[in-house]
Structure 1
Amino acid sequence: MAQKNTLTTSMTSKTTPVTSTISQLKPNVRHQTLLARVVRKWYRPEFLIPNQHATIEILLLDIEKNIIQATVRKLLVDRFDPRVVEGVAYKITGFKVAENNGSEVATPQPFRLYFEIGTLVLQSPNSPIPRYGFSFQEFGDIIANDSLDKHFIDVVGQFVGVGELKKTTGGHPIKTVKLENIELNEGNDPVSSCITQITNEHTDILSTDNILSIKEIKYCQRAGDYVTLASIDDLESSIGWYYDSCKLCRTKVELHQDNLWHCKKKQCDGFTKGLKTKVPRLILTA
């Protein structure tokens, strides 16, 4: 009698990663997916080599209006820089979730994301995630709460002055910008406070001598960068009150499928080549 051998095999199927919110992300778990919008993107310069990028830092906003910081390390900067555009929503898969520490911690979240060589970034053009993730802080809370000094914060105030350009002990140019609270106290006097902002002494627009009123700007015949001191009377919500412009010629730009901003002016280099960044410009009426 022939002996019948039974061969048992096991089969595993690959499952599609479930899209998580920021609050659901867990460290040391692979193949997590996040749907989020890039609300801010900036570069951290290489130590002693300011014209080279050490990392790309990104703030991601999800549908629950939570914000988390993401970091792209130096070796992957060229890979992800053109693929991640400020203001665009993405479905991101295959990142690392680790403890939120380092020299630049932008959010109070316990974790941050790290892009890896296998991280997949796909645009989500119809995402319901809002464009901005503001979380405004009261001036009094900023002064009273030392923990707010550790992270990025949002404020609303009236711009009333700029201090002299100075340098820190580390050699960084720094300037004191004075903001005045729009709300009035019991004596009808504006509540004011000062905040500081790291600036670049070579490109700081606030140090220009080209100071004009809104009326003078309207009739100005010479292109250039100008500074004006004004109070916000009202916000126009029926039409856009700013537009994304070309940094070469200031014409309106549009985001194309190559993740570059293309100028609408055909004579501009930004029309054919595209630009990695755009410049928001205000629409003034007087």
Structure 2
Amino acid sequence: VIGQILLLCQILLFSIETMAYDMLDAINNGKDSWKVKVRVIRLWDAINLNNNELISLDMILLDEHGTMIHAKVIKHMVNKFRPLIQEGLVYMIANFKVTSAMNFRPVEGDKIINFLHTTKIQEIKGLKNIRIAEQSFMFCSVEVLSTRDGQRMYLSDVIGVASYIGNIEETGTTHGISKIRDIVLRIEDQKVNIRLWGNKVDQIDEDSMVLS
């Protein structure tokens, strides 16, 4: 009997992992009955800096074709979905709304997934059946980065060598006092100034600091 139960569980798991689903580059706002198999590669809380209140639970999803998309759970549904979502895991997500992306896009796409009350999410286990990378980035060159100066469309990924890491300081903003830390990255043959804000300043290893 135990063997039959285990076999049934294996069959059910296999059926979940092999059921038909859509690729991220194919979804659109034509319906709400999409089904995608994706890895949650980033997960964070979007916070209103004016009052420090939660706006939404946001994430970046990645499918087996390497397509990324921004997804969002609005504030009043966060308690329902937060316990079901963990960064790094693979899920089948069904019944969600697709809308046009706005400013400050974390990926270079024009669509965003919005969770609904009817959205279903099921973790997919069994690593041998998962062909989705654990991470993905879209690094831009210094030339592309310079074209984004002052624009609000995209957030950018860059990689470089830290030639200078400043001390943690405090500065006044319209939202109160905030911690800041300045970094100079050497990218290709140029230097780019970067400023970290808030809790991000503590994510730099103190042992990596370069005195100037």
- The verdict on a shared fold, with TM-score over 0.5 as the criterion, is yes
Distance 2:176 2:61 in 1: 31
Q: Distance in 1 between matches of 2:173 and 2:83?
A: 33
Q: Summarize the Cα distance change of 1:148–1:19 in structure 2 as closer, same or farther, 3 Å threshold.
A: farther
1:68 shift after superposition: 0.7
**Which residue of the partner structure matches residue 22 of structure 2?**
20
2:14 is matched with which residue?
none
TM-score w.r.t. the length of structure 2 is 0.75
**Which residue of the other structure, out of 225, 229, 243, is the alignment partner of 2:208?**
229
Query: Which structure has more RCO (C-alpha within 8 Å, separation ≥ 6)?
Result: 2
Q: Describe the shift of the 1:49–1:144 C-alpha distance in structure 2 as closer, same or farther (beyond 3 A).
A: closer
Q: Number of residues paired by the alignment?
A: 187
Task: Measure how far apart 1:107 and its partner are.
Answer: 2.5
Superposed displacement of residue 182, structure 1: 5.6
Partner SS, residue 44 of structure 2? strand
Q: Which residues in structure 2 correspond to 1:211-250 (within 5 Å)?
A: 227-229=206-208
The residue number in structure 2 matching 1:192 is: 191
Q: CA deviation at 1:73?
A: 0.8
Pair 1:153-2:132 in alignment:
no
Alpha carbons of 1:169 and 1:47: their partners in 2 closer, same or farther (altered >3 Å)? closer
So what's the TM-score if we normalise by structure 1? Answer: 0.58
Which is richer in strand?
2
One of 118, 138, 141 as aligned partner of 1:138 = 141
Distance 1:59 1:152 in 2: 13
Partner SS for 1:78: helix
Question: Cα deviation per residue 1:60-92 (whole Å; 9 max; x = unaligned)?
Answer: 111121211111011110111111111111110
SS at match of 1:23: helix
- Structure 1: how far apart are the matches of 2:171 and 2:150? 25
Which one is further off, 148-157 or 119-128? 148-157
Contact in 2 for aligned 1:27/1:98 (Cα 8 Å): yes
Asked whether the equivalents of residues 139 and 159 of structure 2 are also in contact (C-alpha less than 8 Å), the reply is: yes
Distance 1:28 1:174, change over 3 A: farther
Note the C-alpha offset of 1:170. 3.8
Q: Contact between 2:91 and 2:123, CA under 8 Å: does it hold in 1?
A: yes
Decide whether aligned partners of structure 1 residues 88 and 172 sit closer, same or farther in structure 2, where only a CA change above 3 A counts.
farther
Give the drift of 1:230: 6.7
Q: CA deviation at 1:167?
A: 3.1
Name the aligned partner's letter for residue 118 of structure 1. T
Amino acid at match of 2:35: T
**How many angstroms apart in 1 are the aligned matches of 2:58 and 2:187?**
32
Contact 1:168/1:174, CA 8 A, preserved across alignment: no
From the two aligned structures, give the one with the greater helix fraction. Answer: 2
Give unpaired runs (5+ residues) of structure 2. 1-18
Aligned ranges 1:196-215 → 2 under 5 Å: 196-200=195-199, 204-205=201-202
1:119 and 2:122 aligned: no
| Equivalent residue letter for 1:205 | D
RMSD of Structure 2 on Structure 1 (CA):
2.8
- How far the C-alpha of 1:28 sits from its partner, in A, is 3.2
Deviations 1:170-203 (A, max 9, x none): 43625253232264x4xxxxx2111223224xx8
Q: Distance in 2 between matches of 1:132 and 1:167?
A: 35
Partner of 1:67: 68
Seq. identity, %: 20
- 1:24, distance to aligned residue in structure 2 (A): 0.1
Is the radius of gyration larger for structure 1 or structure 2? 1
Q: What is the CA distance between 1:44 and its match in structure 2?
A: 1.5
Q: Would the aligned equivalents of 1:43 and 1:57 in 2 still touch at CA under 8 Å?
A: yes
